[in-house]
């Protein structure tokens, strides 16, 4: 039986630095953890444009379609700001999501006890927080037609179209319900059914999927603006939140900052099952390429490492090993090790990007 395959796309900025620490974790599993992966590496984003003139080469796209999972670092940087929109680094990531049909974006917001003081909210509000936002990723206002900037009379008008089909809503709702069954069995669906027809359809389809196939899961509905308010008031009332592309973009970033640092947050983008039963999948940290600190050893690799933990859980059916890796991260933080984004407390030990990776590997050793 062949080893599971993993395509690594470090990308731009701090991407290669944080991905180097993930490679240490992958190597540890291969030598000590009993999990060997067939790993290949390629280019995406600005570095791909520098070499190929496009942010994602066709050959790389073909590889992504064939492997069991893709792990991406970050894309973009000021060097590429003046490129034509069609070849900006971010278009490489969007192409991966679109052509792999990665319709369900999983964004956990988990607050480790050691970092509860870093949240802008009170400690008792965020300590122990563990919620999951499921964002529809391949439709909605970011993809709907017509779109563009047009002349209308004596002025220009910008148009974007919010568009959802029943089947698009149905499949992301099912992803949320399946996920909830493995967690605390609660889903809150968020839209704007009070002012948007697409929101009315969203609510109707989510309710239908629930009633027909997931009646055991507790389902509530909430307007997205009220959801944003409730996330900052008492976020622990939620377990799984499912929402559309635009609201998911906004709400997941809001939830991210409840935990104190974007450098801590992973994500998974999942699609339909492949022939082997595994979903097509792309895993990436929530943070950007942070070109201002690239090459300085200041980047926090934990979000990228936790993205690999999500790959262990959702692509490779290694839930126990995902738990092991997450607990190793938790131990290192509890021991007081902090990268530059997490400094500010008394009694903590500043560490570089590579030192944080080494410490997590040492914690994995100690877990055996």
Q: Tell me: is residue 249 an annotated ligand-binding position.
A: yes
CA 27, 32, 33, 38: dihedral to nearest 10 degrees?
Answer: 40
Position 171 pLDDT exceeds 90: yes
d(CA 86, CA 56): 11
Q: What is the mean pLDDT of residues 171-194?
A: 96
One DSSP character per residue, 23-89 reads HHHHHHHHHTSS---EEEE---THHHHHHHSSSS-HHHHHHHHHSSEEEEEE---GGGTTS-GGGSH
Q: What is the mean pLDDT of residues 337-362?
A: 92
Q: Tell me: is residue 350 an annotated ligand-binding position.
A: no
Q: What is the mean pLDDT of residues 334-360?
A: 91
d(CA 365, CA 329): 12
Whole-number pLDDT of residue 273 = 84
Position 1 pLDDT exceeds 80: no
Position 212 pLDDT exceeds 90: yes
Q: Which residue has the higher pLDDT, 40 or 273?
A: 40
Whole-number pLDDT of residue 298 = 95
Whether the CB-CB separation of 75 and 287 falls below 8 Å is answered with: no
Whole-number pLDDT of residue 342 = 87
What tens digit of pLDDT does each residue of 277-322 get?
888 999 999 889 999 999 999 999 999 999 999 999 999 999 999 9
Whether the CB-CB separation of 190 and 222 falls below 8 Å is answered with: yes
Q: What is the mean pLDDT of residues 21-48?
A: 97
Q: Tell me: is residue 341 an annotated ligand-binding position.
A: no
What tens digit of pLDDT does each residue of 133-154 get?
999 999 999 999 999 999 999 9
Whole-number pLDDT of residue 243 = 98
Q: What is the mean pLDDT of residues 95-117?
A: 91
Q: Tell me: is residue 354 an annotated ligand-binding position.
A: no
Position 262 pLDDT exceeds 80: no
One DSSP character per residue, 129-180 reads -EEEEEEE-SSGGGTEEEEEEEEETTEEEEEEE----HHHHHHHHHHHHHHH
What tens digit of pLDDT does each residue of 67-80 get?
999 999 999 999 99
d(CA 268, CA 81): 27
d(CA 114, CA 214): 36
Whole-number pLDDT of residue 346 = 76
The residues of the chain that CATH labels 3.40.718.10 are 1-103+266-368, 130-258
Q: Tell me the average pLDDT of the chain.
A: 94
Distances (CA, A) of 267 to 19, 304, 311: 15, 9, 9
CATH number of 1-103+266-368: 3.40.718.10
Q: What percent of the chain has pLDDT over 70?
A: 100
Q: Which residue has the higher pLDDT, 216 or 143?
A: 216
d(CA 157, CA 139): 22
Residue whose C-alpha is closest to residue 81's, from 23, 8, 12, 135: 12
Residue linked to tokens 């090993």: 321
Whole-number pLDDT of residue 344 = 76
Position 120 pLDDT exceeds 90: no
Evaluate whether the domain defined by 130-258 bears CATH number 1.10.940.10.
Answer: no
Q: Tell me: is residue 291 an annotated ligand-binding position.
A: yes
Instruction: Provide the pLDDT confidence category of residue 326 given band limits of 50, 70 and 90.
Output: very high
Instruction: Provide the pLDDT confidence category of residue 329 given band limits of 50, 70 and 90.
Output: very high
Whole-number pLDDT of residue 332 = 97
Whether the CB-CB separation of 221 and 204 falls below 8 Å is answered with: no
Q: Tell me: is residue 177 an annotated ligand-binding position.
A: no
Q: Which residue has the higher pLDDT, 35 or 117?
A: 35
Tell me which of 74-83, 120-129, 224-233 is least confident: 120-129
d(CA 45, CA 53): 10
Structure tokens at 323: 């738990």
Whole-number pLDDT of residue 345 = 74
d(CA 313, CA 36): 15
- Exposed, middle or buried by CB within 10 Å (0-12, 13-18, 19+), for 250? middle
Whole-number pLDDT of residue 45 = 98
Q: Tell me: is residue 346 an annotated ligand-binding position.
A: no
Q: Active-site residues: which are they? A: 142, 192, 225, 249, 253
Q: What is the mean pLDDT of residues 330-335?
A: 95
DSSP code for 103: -
Whole-number pLDDT of residue 40 = 98
Q: What is the mean pLDDT of residues 103-115?
A: 91
Whole-number pLDDT of residue 150 = 96
């Amino acid at each position: 039986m062949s080893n599971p395959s993993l395509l690594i796309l470090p990308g731009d900025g701090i991407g290669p630095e944080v991905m180097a620490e993930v490679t240490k974790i992958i190597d540890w599993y291969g030598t000590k953890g009993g999990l060997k992966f067939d790993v290949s590496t390629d280019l995406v984003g600005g570095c791909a444009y520098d070499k190929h003139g496009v942010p994602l080469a066709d050959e790389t796209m073909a590889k992504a379609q064939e492997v069991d999972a893709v792990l991406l670092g970050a894309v973009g940087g000021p060097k590429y700001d003046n490129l034509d929109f069609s070849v900006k680094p971010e278009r490489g990531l969007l192409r991966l999501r679109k052509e792999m049909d990665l319709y369900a974006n999983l964004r956990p917001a988990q607050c480790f006890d050691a970092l509860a003081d870093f949240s802008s909210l009170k400690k008792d509000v965020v300590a122990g927080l563990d919620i999951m936002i499921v964002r529809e990723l391949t439709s909605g206002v970011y993809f709907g037609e017509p779109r563009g900037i047009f002349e209308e009379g004596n002025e220009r008008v910008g148009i974007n179209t919010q568009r959802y089909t029943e089947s698009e809503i149905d499949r992301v709702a099912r992803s949320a319900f399946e996920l909830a069954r493995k967690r605390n069995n609660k889903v809150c669906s968020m839209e704007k059914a009070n002012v948007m027809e697409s929101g009315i359809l969203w609510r109707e389809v989510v309710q239908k999927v629930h009633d027909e196939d997931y009646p055991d899961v507790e389902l509530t509905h909430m307007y997205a603006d009220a959801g944003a308010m409730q996330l900052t008031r008492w976020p622990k009332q939620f377990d799984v939140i499912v929402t559309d592309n635009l609201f998911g973009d906004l709400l997941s970033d809001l939830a991210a900052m409840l935990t104190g640092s974007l450098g801590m947050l992973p994500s998974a983008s999942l699609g339909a099952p492949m022939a082997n039963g595994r979903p097509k999948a792309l895993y990436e940290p929530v943070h950007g390429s942070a070109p201002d600190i690239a090459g300085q050893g200041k980047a926090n690799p934990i979000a990228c490492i936790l993205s690999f933990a999500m790959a262990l859980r959702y692509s490779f059916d290694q839930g126990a090993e995902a738990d092991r890796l997450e607990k190793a991260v938790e131990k290192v933080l509890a021991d007081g090790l902090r990268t530059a984004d997490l400094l500010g407390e008394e009694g903590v030990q500043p560490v570089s990007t590579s030192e944080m990776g080494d410490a997590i590997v040492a914690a994995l050793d100690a877990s055996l």
